[in-house]
Amino acid sequence: MPTPHARTAGQHGQVLVFGLFVLIVCVAAMDLMLDAGALVMSKVRLVNTADATAYSGAVMDARLMNFLAYTNRAMAANSAAIGEEVSFRSWLEYARRVSSATDLDPGLIDPAKYPLFDSLMATATTTAKVISPLLKTMVDTEKAQDTAVHTILEAAVDTAVLTEPIDRSHVMQEVADANYRNDGTVRVNTGLTAESQVSTALLHHYTGTNRTGAPPYSGQTFDPALQQMRSFTHFQFGMPSYVDHLVARATLLRARSWSMPALLSACPQYEAMGLLDFMVRRGGLERLSLDEWRSADTLGDFSWIPAPPTPLCIPFEFPAVHALADAAKVATKDDFTANHYNDAPELTPVTFALGELLDGGKSTHYSGLPDYWGVALVARQSGPAGHNPEADFTVALSRPFSETLPARIGGATLGMASVGPKDIVAASTARVFYRRPPDGSGQAAPHLGELANAFNPYWQASLARTAHGPSSALALIQAAMGVTMPQGRLP
């Protein structure tokens, strides 16, 4: 009968075989886990780099839009300043001519009729010598100011818009390289589609007669002549409207008017009825076109003149003072619109006509409202319903698989080195949008619903969801990069 030792003598070492098999499986599993972990770490790092790269590009786009806003404001302010200088020049010429007003209307020096006008003429005579050289200086200043601002600012804006796509690509590549300094290479691709540039997605270059820009998006009108000064925040302004918005705030230069009743009348029977002679002073500023400012100042003396042999008297305007100043790129236009220049053509027609005849042809050179970059109307129409237009772009980063961590630690377990893509890819989408930040007052925000415009510097940048699919920007970028990845491996 065999002993127990004899019965187990042939079974020595069998557990060792099973243990070796388990050990091999465990080593393979650990290798697979390390490989997968290394690949995930490489991909997470690439995704983070893609986010940083896309955001840096969006920040540059937002800065470009804000630069345009500041520059457009400066160009508009310059145009408004030209208009105000024209207005001030007309006012100074009016003040200078008050000293010689009696050449046109001797009745002004009658102290029984206008006792205050005699002292006014005395003051004007004293200051006339100072006013004359000042007028010439202002004309020269207008020319130099207009030329310099147009040349410098327009060149700066055009350069910024045209070079920004190239600069943005360089910056994004620098950001990506900084995240992989001394650790291999990384390739940035934005797809180079038209929609990826704010200059084509959001902006339009308003030039020539097209400088009027997009009409108010709300469908309402902007009419400073009728004092309909609605909030700027609710409109898409073109350059002319924004210039008018600035000038309308300078009410002293837009409208300078008064009337003075006389102490007596040339018709005693009318004097008893309270129908006295009176003096009307009217002045104001108008932008007649994209290329012309006009300012008029008039002073008319209205008297009741007997009309014998009838007992009636008829009103007659004695032109006292006329002063018209003009700044135009084109020949000075005749403008007799009744409600212009604070109703000067309507209330002092003879004086205004005389000024038009004698002063209307004199103008200084004004190159007109500048060409500018503004938000395109087509961008508004294609924007999300009820929202401001946005500019989205997708950036894809690729990195050779051979430079990733799993390849460096010898990871071939996943088979990616032979059957997978030669590159790993990560994509990120950034967005440029317009929104005024909250002021923190806690009150109802007056800027709610403010439309995106190229005159307020409230453009911001953020990351956005990356769209997938056969026709997505990511698919186009991957095709351009020669990279094909299954849907499940997209970020």
Residues of the chain with pLDDT > 70: what percent? 70
Collapse the DSSP code of 487 into the 3-class scheme (helix H, G, I; strand E, B; otherwise coil) and give the result.
Answer: helix
Residue pLDDT, tens place only, 126-180: 776 777 777 777 777 777 778 788 888 999 999 999 998 889 889 999 999 999 8
DSSP annotation string for 121-176 = HHHHHHHHHHHHHHHHHHHHHHHHHHHHHHHHHHHHHHHHHHHHHHHHHHHHHHHH
Residue pLDDT, tens place only, 366-397: 888 889 999 887 777 666 655 678 888 888 88
DSSP annotation string for 290-327 = TTEEEEEEEEEEEEEEE-TTSS-EEEEEEEEEEEEEEE
What is the pLDDT at residue 9? 58
Q: Is the pLDDT of residue 69 over 90?
A: yes
CA 380 centroid distance within chain: 14
What is the pLDDT at residue 220? 36
pLDDT interval class at 73 (50, 70, 90) = very high
Q: Return the domain boundaries, the chain.
A: 69-171+201-372
- Give the C-alpha distances (Å, rounded to integers) separating 422 from 46, 403, 483: 15, 10, 8
343 compared with 238, residue with greater pLDDT = 343
- Return the beta strands (E) in 230-379 as ranges: 258-261, 278-289, 292-306, 313-328, 364-365, 372-375
484 compared with 185, residue with greater pLDDT = 185
What would the two tokens of residue 79 be?
Answer: 């145009």
Q: Is the pLDDT of residue 119 over 80?
A: no
Paired strand residues for 396: 189, 427
The whole-number average pLDDT for the span 241-270 is: 79
Paired strand residues for 327: 293, 364
What global pTM score does this model have? 0.79
Q: Is the pLDDT of residue 410 over 90?
A: no
Residues of the chain with pLDDT > 90: what percent? 17
CA atoms within 13 A on the CB side of 45: 19
Query: Exposed (0-12), middle (13-18) or buried (19+): which is 112, by Cβ within 10 Å?
Result: exposed
SS3 content of the chain, % helix, strand, coil (to 5): 50, 20, 30
Q: Is the pLDDT of residue 250 over 60?
A: yes
What would the two tokens of residue 464 be?
Answer: 């956005």
Nearest to 93 by CA among 317, 256, 202: 256
Paired strand residues for 365: 328
Q: Is the pLDDT of residue 277 over 90?
A: no
Residue pLDDT, tens place only, 287-323: 888 889 999 999 998 888 888 888 888 888 989 899 9
What would the two tokens of residue 316 be?
Answer: 């007659």
Collapse the DSSP code of 374 into the 3-class scheme (helix H, G, I; strand E, B; otherwise coil) and give the result.
Answer: strand
Q: Is the pLDDT of residue 459 over 90?
A: yes
What would the two tokens of residue 284 be?
Answer: 């104001």
How far is residue 479's CA from residue 469's CA, in Å, rounded to a whole number?
13
Contact 426, 49 (CB under 8 A): yes
